[in-house]
Amino acid sequence: MEANIKIQISHFTATFKPRYSFEKTCVSLSDITLNIYENEILSIIGPARSGKTTLLRSINRLNDIHENFFKTGDILLDKESVYHARVDVADIRRRVGFVFARPVVLPKSIWENICYGPKLKGISKKEELSQIVEESLKSAYLWDEVKNRLKDSALSLSGGQQQRLCIARTIALKPEVIMLDEPTSALDPISTSKIEDTLVELKSKYTIILVTNNTKQAARVGTKTAFFLMSKLIEYGNTEQIFTNPKEKQTEDYITGRFG
Amino acid sequence: MISPQREQFWAEMVLKLAAFFSLFILGFILFYITWKGVSSISLSFLLENPSDMGRSGGIFAPIVSTFMLAFLSILISTPMGVGTSIFLTEYTNESRITRIIRFGADCLSGIPSIIFGLFGFVLFVIKLNLGWCILSGALTMSFMILPTIIRTSEEAIKSVPFDLREASYSLGASKWQTITKVVLPEAIPGIVTGVILGIGRCIGETAVVIFTAGAALNTPTSIFDSARTMAVHFYIIAREGISTQKAYATAFVLVVLVLSINFCTYFLMHKYISKKK
């Protein structure tokens, strides 16, 4: 049985127009067509500046804050365009959670960090909030480490804990899709393996898109893998197939470490 | 040829000298004012109104006027200044308009205060028929300190990392929610610094006050009364040779006031920041 398509990207091109005449127009994504299925982990691999992050930021419309961002093509979330004029951007961002490469905790307490999103959604009851806090911290495997210090500043946590707090904060929004942009690039191996375990656990409830620089990580956790190079989608397929029997020469060169 | 070690030694000496000299001047002024002024300070000096043009009595009315004027000026200029800086940093991209507004603010801060005084006199006192009063003075003064508040708040808001804004957006916050819940709380120490600088200028200002708020010796009961601030009181009784002793005593109170405002805010800011970390 074929899984449901959660996100459908069709002929999507993202361009950053120059602000000054001496700059060149930068095409970050060119003609990407890709389907992302429900309850899967899609790993996106590729060298720096290949458009991986731009793709994530286009899905939850975070690129909108740059005035020189232009796109053609479309991205559908549950068959509805995220770029439709009547779409509420805040709603899209809640449905498609985003975890940044470096842990960005808000300079507030652990509790406040998690409640930030739910409070904006209008949840104000204390019991409801504490339930959300407990649930999301447990899903990110952080609860046992911080349950006695929820009022402490989130800045007092270690890097790995901060990143898991960011994941918990995203889970607290009750999203449908979670996108992670190189979530472990700044972390030690132990924190990394904790986060990878978390992701595999989360797969049953959410659709996950994982951008990673670490091809081994993609092989470990991804159901499907997509390889990007120079703003193009080179190859897409089951992780096993990509890593054992890639169709494209460039993919093979990249995963065997010949470049990138 | 001078050796690097020697060069290092002399550079350090010169820098040390500059630092000590600056500190010495500051200390000397404080010491001199305290020495001349502290002997005439008493409770009655603080709580009595000046009599006989300031030759005797205290400075109760000038103290009240100073507080009223400074408070009202800050009340008017802070929302305007912080609003402008939020607009400049969050709602516009670097463009011709922002450069013009910023250049305008910089020009405004370079204008001598007496020009502001004259402007306030013509506009508020004469044209709008407010007369010499605390309101005219506070309005004029708030224009004068506006550039300081705009520029310091702007720097404070700009120094909030962009990552935090993005994180807030990605959690479903709107621009305004991001500004009020993330950006401003982070920028507050910087904004408060600007406001403190503004208060300092308000308290020390004379030209604007003489032109727009007058120099009445009565205790003001409303913002429509004319009033004499401590700085103006000091200026008048010193310049007209009414009482040098009372002038020094006034100066002493003025200096203590400014210093204690600075200390208080520093202390509060420190508490605020350490609570967040």
Q: Do B171 and A117 touch (CB under 8 A)?
A: yes
Q: Are A223 and A203 in contact (CB under 8 A)?
A: yes
List the Cα angle A78/A81/A84 in 5-degree steps. Answer: 145
The whole-angstrom separation of Cα A36 and Cα A13 is 17
Query: What's the confidence (pLDDT) of residue A67?
Result: 80
Banded pLDDT at B104 (limits 50, 70, 90): confident
The amino acid sitting at B103 is F
**pLDDT by 10s per residue, chain A, length 260:** 457 888 888 889 888 887 776 777 788 888 888 889 888 899 998 888 888 888 999 998 988 888 888 888 889 888 888 888 888 888 899 999 999 888 889 998 999 999 999 998 888 888 999 999 999 998 888 888 888 988 888 998 888 889 889 999 999 998 999 999 988 887 788 888 888 888 888 888 889 999 988 888 888 888 889 998 888 888 898 888 888 888 888 888 888 876 65
* Mutation for testing the B interface, residue in A104, A114, A170, A180 having most B CBs under 10 Å: A104
Q: Are B35 and B255 in contact (CB under 8 A)?
A: no
Q: Which residues of B touch A91 (CB under 8 A)?
A: 172
Residues of A with CB under 8 A from a CB of B: 60, 62, 65, 67, 90-91, 93-94, 97-98, 100, 102, 104-108, 116-117, 120-121, 153, 155-156, 166, 169-170, 173
Chain A residue whose CA is closest to B174: A90
Q: Do B164 and A104 touch (CB under 8 A)?
A: yes
Taking every pair of Cα atoms in chain A, the longest distance, rounded to a whole number of angstroms, is 56
Per DSSP, chain A holds a count of helices (H) and strands (E) of 10, 10
If one counts every other C-beta atom within 10 angstroms of the C-beta of residue B275, the result is 8
Q: Do B169 and A67 touch (CB under 8 A)?
A: no
Mean pLDDT on B168-187:
92
Q: Which residues of A touch B277 (CB under 8 A)?
A: 153, 155-156
Distance separating the N- and C-terminal Cα atoms of chain B: 51
Contacting residues for B86 by C-beta, under 8 A, at least 6 apart: B153, B157, B179, B184
Banded pLDDT at B15 (limits 50, 70, 90): very high
Query: What's the confidence (pLDDT) of residue A64?
Result: 84
Query: What's the confidence (pLDDT) of residue A98?
Result: 92
Q: Are B113 and B137 in contact (CB under 8 A)?
A: no
Chain B residue whose CA is closest to A121: B172
Task: Measure the CA dihedral B143/B147/B153/B156, to 10°.
Answer: -170
Q: Do B171 and A102 touch (CB under 8 A)?
A: no
At residue B218, does pLDDT exceed 70? yes
Residues of B with CB under 8 A from a CB of A: 93, 161, 163-174, 177, 181-182, 185-186, 276-277
Q: Which residues of B touch A117 (CB under 8 A)?
A: 171-173
The closest of A66, A50, A59, A74 to A209, measured between CA atoms, is A59
The whole-angstrom separation of Cα A189 and Cα B198 is 51
The closest of A52, A77, A100 to B164, measured between CA atoms, is A100
- Three-class SS of residue A138? helix
Query: What's the confidence (pLDDT) of residue B176?
Result: 93
User: B23-65: per-residue pLDDT in tens?
Assistant: 999 999 999 999 988 888 888 888 888 887 778 888 888 888 9
At residue B12, does pLDDT exceed 90? yes
- Three-class SS of residue B132? coil
Dihedral angle sign, alpha carbons of residues A158, A159, A164, A169? positive
Query: What's the confidence (pLDDT) of residue A1?
Result: 44
* Mutation for testing the A interface, residue in B91, B171, B179, B180 having most A CBs under 10 Å: B171
ipTM over the 0.95 cut-off? no
DSSP-assigned letters across all residues of B200-221: HHHHH--HHHHHHT----SPP-
Domain A5-255 falls under CATH 3.40.50.300: yes
Banded pLDDT at B93 (limits 50, 70, 90): confident
Taking the domains of chain A in order of start, what are their residue ranges?
5-255
Tell me which of B93 and A109 has the higher pLDDT. A109
Q: Which residue in the block uniquely carries the two structure tokens 């990394």?
A: A192
Mean pLDDT on B165-173:
91
